[in-house]
Amino acid sequence: KKKPHPPRQRSAMLPSPLVRGARTALRSLAASSSAGLRLEKALCTAPSGASHDRNLHHRRAAAPTSSTAVYRALSRAFSTAQTVNTRIDASKLTVERTKSPKVKPPFDHTLPFGKVFSDHMLEIDWTRSAGFGTPRIVPFHNLQLSPSIPALHYGVQCFEGMKAYKDASGGVRLFRPEMNMKRFDDSCKRLALPELDKEGMQKCIAELCKVESDWVPAFEGCSLYLRPTCIGTSEGLGVSEPSEALIFVIASPVGPYFANGFAPVKVLAETGFRRAWPGGTGSNKVGGNYAPGLMPQKLSAAKGYSQVLWLFGEEEYVTEIGAMNFFVFWVTPEGKKELITAPLDGTILPGVTRDSILKLAKGWDMCDKVSERAFTMKELAKAVDEGRVLEVFGAGTAAVVAPVDGIGYNGRNLPVPCGTDGKAGDLTKKLFGAISDLHYGRSDQMGWSVPV
């Protein structure tokens, strides 16, 4: 008489509905990463239900159960996913020195902006599947790129602007570089470019400055302008987030913005064209913000103006001047001396110089108030007519501060005071001197001047 079979052991396999659910949930991961694709394939080949074969315990040795297959797939996929490098490892940076050093121009006030470039550049590759590659400093060279990359067709590119300065002891310094790195990262994320390792990026830029220390001018007012850039480089047409990108940094020795001292400019308040709008990219340094401004700039130059003063909305809110932040120093209707600039509402670039001016001015008794708030062109015109405007200037990395002595608006020219010498007001001069001292390390009570 045959003995009855012992009770069948319940399989520890993952139930079929969960397997199907996992497959569905991971399709989005599969679409965005190679690890996810391998995981989805593994799940799709996993058994979907329990076998009722009496010899199931023998078959387990030959074929994995659903739970085992899923576990192994997860292990393989996530171990692969962990190899995606999210760090920019400055400790692995390689340096290839040029064999043909360039002849340096005179490092004085005659240096043009952005026309001469140093011997070397920094490059970092990125791919969606592998992350950041090994950073490298190489001789300055032209890029070899496919003509189909999204940076050329859809504006998938962003950049930064910062400077290296040489102090009295010959050391090289950066000015508040962490702010540039944050803004660079914000711009990258806005365009679906890779999220930056800000600390690693800053260290690599510092290393480039060390390599190019002989290219940092020691002449007062001169500096080494640094242009970090990120471009989408995946080949093929079609509007989609890039799967490959290149980060590079080039360096250019530049002279003073005002070679012969302050030279105030006249600006045209632009009532027809707009630089930025809520929900757009006005707070990011992307190429798409600058090219549309070239034609309005050309039209304003034909009318005798040096820059465009950008307005926004039917109210004509004052926003920026050219590619700089815009400041007004005036007396309010209540009799208070106020330094005012537009707020960071998403349409305004969060300038490093802008932030520095606000923080410095708040500690001085020249201003009763320092404000970040919206104000209109009509308010500014009324203040000019009432004699309440004291100074107007732009602010940015290139010029530090740029005084304005006139504003064209609705067919009128609104005169703006520029101090007793007609070149710059007292607040403008004090800001320029204080920030320049910080640039060159002559003072650093704010902790903003960072030696490399």
Beta-bridged to residue 227, according to DSSP, are 250
How many C-beta atoms surround the C-beta of residue 77 within 10 A? 24
Spatial contact of 391 and 403, defined as CB atoms under 8 Å apart: yes
pLDDT tens per residue, the chain (452 residues)? 555 555 555 444 444 554 555 555 455 444 444 444 444 454 444 444 444 444 434 444 444 445 555 555 555 555 544 589 999 999 999 999 999 999 999 999 999 999 999 999 999 999 999 999 999 999 999 999 999 999 999 999 999 999 999 999 999 999 999 999 999 999 999 999 999 999 999 999 999 999 999 999 999 999 999 999 999 999 999 999 999 999 999 999 999 988 778 999 999 999 999 999 999 999 999 999 999 999 999 999 999 999 999 999 999 999 999 999 999 999 999 999 999 999 999 999 999 999 999 999 999 999 999 999 999 999 999 999 999 999 999 999 999 999 999 999 999 999 999 999 999 999 999 999 999 999 999 998 789 999 99
Q: Is 241 exposed, middle or buried (0-12, 13-18, 19+ CB in 10 A)?
A: middle
Beta-bridged to residue 309, according to DSSP, are 269, 321
pLDDT value, residue 205: 98
Spatial contact of 282 and 349, defined as CB atoms under 8 Å apart: yes
pLDDT value, residue 68: 56
Return d(Cα 138, Cα 93) in angstroms, integer: 11
pLDDT value, residue 83: 82
Strands (E), 108-156: 120-127, 131-132, 136-139
pLDDT value, residue 277: 94
Task: Compute CA 212 distance to the chain's CA centroid, rounded to the nearest angstrom.
Answer: 22
- pTM for the whole structure: 0.82
Contacts for 291 with CB less than 8 Å, ≥ 6 apart: none
Beta-bridged to residue 312, according to DSSP, are 317
Beta-bridged to residue 252, according to DSSP, are 225
Helix (H, G, I), strand (E, B) or coil at 133: coil
Sign, CA torsion 327/333/338/342? negative
| Strand-strand pairing, 307-312 and 265-270 | parallel
Spatial contact of 324 and 394, defined as CB atoms under 8 Å apart: yes
pLDDT value, residue 259: 77
Two structure tokens written together for 186: 């914000």
CA-CA distances (angstroms) from residue 198 to 88, 89, 160, 172, 382? 8, 11, 13, 20, 44
Return d(Cα 28, Cα 3) in angstroms, integer: 52
Phi-psi region of 36 (alpha: psi -120 to 50; beta: other; left: phi over 0): alpha
Which one-letter DSSP state was computed for residue 224?
A: E
